[in-house]
Amino acid sequence: MEAAKTVAIAGNPNVGKSTLFNSLTGMHQHTGNWAGKTVANAHGCCRTPNYTCTLVDIPGTYSLLAHSPEEEIARDFLCAEKTDAVIVVCDATCLERNLNLTLQILKINPHVILCVNLMDEAEKKGISVDFSVLSESLGIPAVGICARKKKGIQNLLHTLDKVLAAASENKSDFHTTSLTKCRCEADITAADDVNTAKAGHTDADTLIKAAESIAAKAVTFHNPHYRAKDIRLDKFLTSRLTGYPVMILLLAVTFWLTISFSNYPSALLSHLFTKLEGVLSALLFSIRTPLWLHDLLILGAYRVLTWVIAVMLPPMAIFFPLFTLLEDMGYLPRIAYNLDHCFKKCRACGKQALTMCMGFGCNAAGVVGCRIVDSPRERLIAILTNSLVPCNGRFPLLITLSAMFFTGTASGITGSAASALLLTGFILLGVSMTFLASRLLSATVLKGLPSSFILELPPYRCPQPCRILLRSLLDRTLFVLGRAVLAAAPAGVIIWLAANITVADASLLTHCAGFLEPFARLIGLDGVILIAFILGIPANEIVLPIILMAYLSTGSLVQTESLTSLHTLLAVNGWTPVTALCTMLFSLLHWPCATTLLTIKKETGSLKWTLIAFLLPTVFGCSACFLVNSIGKLLFHV
C-alpha cells in the first residue's frame, strides 16, 4: 500500500487556512505541539481521487524570513521537511499581499497549488479574479474556493490529485518554463538552494513588486470604493477620541450580558446537583459506607466540585462566545492596535492586549494565549501579569459584594447594569495594574526595549455562529472547566478535613483563621476571609462558600437563600463597606488559581517564574488593601 502523501497548507494569517484544513479533514485530525515548541500544530487526513494525504496546517506566516517562533516553524517545515505538495491559501480581497509568500515558496518547492479563498467576500466587494492569468503568470494551478461554505473543495481535491501525480513522476517542465518566464519579467533574483532560501537571502523588494504586478493583471476591482465602509469603521473604532470609550462600552455590555443571563442556568445547575446529591448519598448509605467517608465524598469533594461547575460554567458559556464573536468580526486586532501605544510605553508588546482580554474569561487560557507574543521577554511579561485582570471565577464574589454593599440588591436590568458598571471599574483598575506591573518588570528582572510587530487589521466579517460555538465551548470553555474540575475535587477533600478535624475544641480551619487574624486585619480583612482565599487556590469560585462555612461552623459548603440574609450574616461577623471593598480588591489582586499556576509552569518550564507570577499580584493586592484600609480608618474611624 502506497504511503500517504504529505501536503502542507501554508499562507498568511487570517486567510482561512484552518477553515480549509477543517473542511478537507473533517473529524480526521489531531493537534499537538511542534518539537521543542509551544506552538500548536494540526495534522489530518483526506483523500483525493487517487491518493491518501496527510495534511499539515503550518502556522500562518507573511514571509519565509522568520521573525517569530510561528514563522520559524513554517519556514523550517517548508524548507527542510519532505512535502509532496504545498497548498498556499490566499485572501481574494488582498491578493497582492499574499502572493509574496507564494513566490517565496515557489523557489523551494515546484509542486504548489494557489488556493484563493474568501471568494464570497470578494464577490460582495465587487472583486473578480482571473485564475487563468494567475496560473499562467505563476506556472502553477490556481483555484478559487469559499472554505467556510465548502464551495470549490472538490475542484481543489482534483487539482491536488493532478499535482501529486506529477510530483510522483517528477514532472515539472511546465512549471519550470513558465516560472522562469515570470522571473524574467519581474527581474527576480532567485535563491538557488534550500539553505540559501532558509537563510533568507532573497530580494524582498523585487518579490513584492512581482506580487503586485501579477495581482494587478489578475484582479479587477469593479467597485473602487469597496473598502470605504471598513475605513470609516476603523476611523471610529481606532481613533484616540472614540476608540477607548468604545472598548470600555463593549467591555461593560459584555459583562452585563454575562451577569444577566448566567444567574438562571447557575440556579438550575445548582438545583440539579442538589437532587443528584440526594441520590448519591442514598446510594452510599445503601452499600453501608461509613459516615465519615460519606461526608468526605459528598459534603466535601462532591459539593465543592458541583459548586465550581454551577458557578463557573454558565458565565464562561456566555463570556467566551461573546469574546469569540468580537474575534470573529475582526474587532480584537483593533483592540491590540489601540492598546499598542500603552504597552509600548510599558516596554511591552501590543499583542499582550489580546492575551489580557482572554484572561477575563480565564487566566489559564490567557496564559496559553501568550504564545502569540514573539519576543521571549515580552511573552514572560504577558504571562506574569495576566492574572491581574479578573477571570470569571472571581466575578461571583465581586458581583455579590458590590450588590450587597454598594449598588444595592435590585434585580433585573437595573441591578445587573449597576453591577456591570462597578465590575467594569474594577477591571479598568486591573488593566491599570497590568500596565504598572509590565513597566516594573521591564525595568527590573526583564529589562529590554519594546519590539515592534506587524499587525494586520482583517476586514470586518459577518460572524459564523456554528464556528463561534464550537471554538468557544470546545476549545475554551470545556478546556478551562476541565482543569478547574481536576483541582476542585481534591480541594473539597482538604476543605472538609480542615473544617471537621478538631483540636482543643476548635477546627483546624478556625485555628488557621485565628493565626492569620493579625495580618488580615492589617490589610482590611479578617482571618476567615484570608484563609478562604488560601483554601480557594484550586478555584476562586469557592472563596465565598468557604467564608460562609467558617462563619456558620457547618463543616461543609452552604448556600444562603438571598443577598439580604447573606448581608446580615456578614455584618454580624464585623463586615463593613471598607471590609467589602478590601475583599473585592484582594479578589482582584491576589495569587493566581492552581489551574493558572500549573499552566504558567508548563508554559515557562520554570519554578522561578511561577513563583514570581504568584508573588507579583499578591504584593499588589496586599499593598492596595493596606492603603484602602488605612484611608478607611482615617475617614470612617472603623
Name residues whose C-beta falls within 8 Å of residue 157's C-beta, 6 or more positions apart in sequence. 24, 46, 47, 48, 49
Q: Is the pLDDT of residue 196 over 60?
A: no
Residues in the chain: 638
Q: Are strands 5-11 and 502-503 parallel, antiparallel or unpaired?
A: unpaired
- Which is more confidently placed, 4 or 196? 4
Mean pLDDT over residues 55-77, rounded? 79
Q: Which amino acid is at 136?
A: E
Q: Which amino acid is at 436?
A: L
- Which is more confidently placed, 271 or 361? 271
Confidence of residue 222 (pLDDT cuts 50, 70, 90): confident
pLDDT at 637: 63
pLDDT at 290: 92
CA 569 → CA 364, 533, 554, 575, distances in Å? Answer: 33, 19, 14, 9
- Report the phi/psi class of residue 14: left, alpha or beta, with left for phi > 0 and alpha for psi in -120 to 50: left
For the stretch 476-531, pLDDT in tens is: 677 667 766 776 788 788 888 888 888 887 888 888 999 999 999 999 999 999 99
Q: Is 349 helix (H, G, I), strand (E, B) or coil?
A: coil
pLDDT at 38: 46
pLDDT at 112: 93
Q: How many helices (H) and strands (E) does the chain have?
A: 28, 11
Looking up cell 442514598 gives 282
Half-sphere exposure of 620 (CA within 13 A, CB side): 29
Confidence of residue 188 (pLDDT cuts 50, 70, 90): very low
Confidence of residue 349 (pLDDT cuts 50, 70, 90): confident
Looking up cell 461573546 gives 322
Mean pLDDT over residues 226-254, rounded? 85
504: burial class by Cβ within 10 Å (0-12, 13-18, 19+)? exposed
Q: Is the pLDDT of residue 186 over 80?
A: no
Q: Is the pLDDT of residue 616 over 50?
A: yes
Q: Is the pLDDT of residue 327 over 70?
A: yes
Q: Is the pLDDT of residue 202 over 60?
A: no
Please state, in angstroms and rounded to a whole number, the distance separating the CA atoms of residues 236 and 233. 5
The rounded mean pLDDT for the chain is 81
Q: Is the pLDDT of residue 158 over 90?
A: yes
Mean pLDDT over residues 221-245, rounded? 84
Percent of the chain with pLDDT over 70: 86
Would you kindly state where each structural domain of the chain is located, as residue ranges? 5-226, 243-636
pLDDT at 116: 93
- Which is more confidently placed, 163 or 360? 163
Confidence of residue 27 (pLDDT cuts 50, 70, 90): low
Q: Is the pLDDT of residue 379 over 60?
A: yes
What is the DSSP-derived secondary structure letter of residue 540?
Answer: G
Contact 360, 332 (CB under 8 A): no
For the stretch 79-136, pLDDT in tens is: 877 888 999 999 988 888 889 889 999 888 889 999 999 898 888 888 899 999 999 9
Q: Is the pLDDT of residue 190 over 50?
A: no
Looking up cell 487556512 gives 17
Please state, in angstroms and rounded to a whole number, the distance separating the CA atoms of residues 286 and 283. 5
Looking up cell 487560557 gives 365
pLDDT at 253: 85
Q: Is the pLDDT of residue 182 over 50?
A: no
Mean pLDDT over residues 161-173, rounded? 78
Mean pLDDT over residues 133-159, rounded? 91
Cell of 138: 505563476
Q: Is the pLDDT of residue 169 over 60?
A: yes
Q: Which CATH class is domain 5-226?
A: alpha beta
Confidence of residue 195 (pLDDT cuts 50, 70, 90): very low
Query: What is the torsion angle, in degrees rounded to the nearest 10, for the CA atoms of residue 315, residue 595, residue 13 and residue 43?
Result: -110
Q: Is the pLDDT of residue 332 over 70?
A: yes
Choose among 554, 562, 553, 508: nearest CA to 531: 508
Name residues whose C-beta falls within 8 Å of residue 260's C-beta, 6 or more positions apart in sequence. 413, 416
Please state, in angstroms and rounded to a whole number, the distance separating the CA atoms of residues 596 and 590. 12
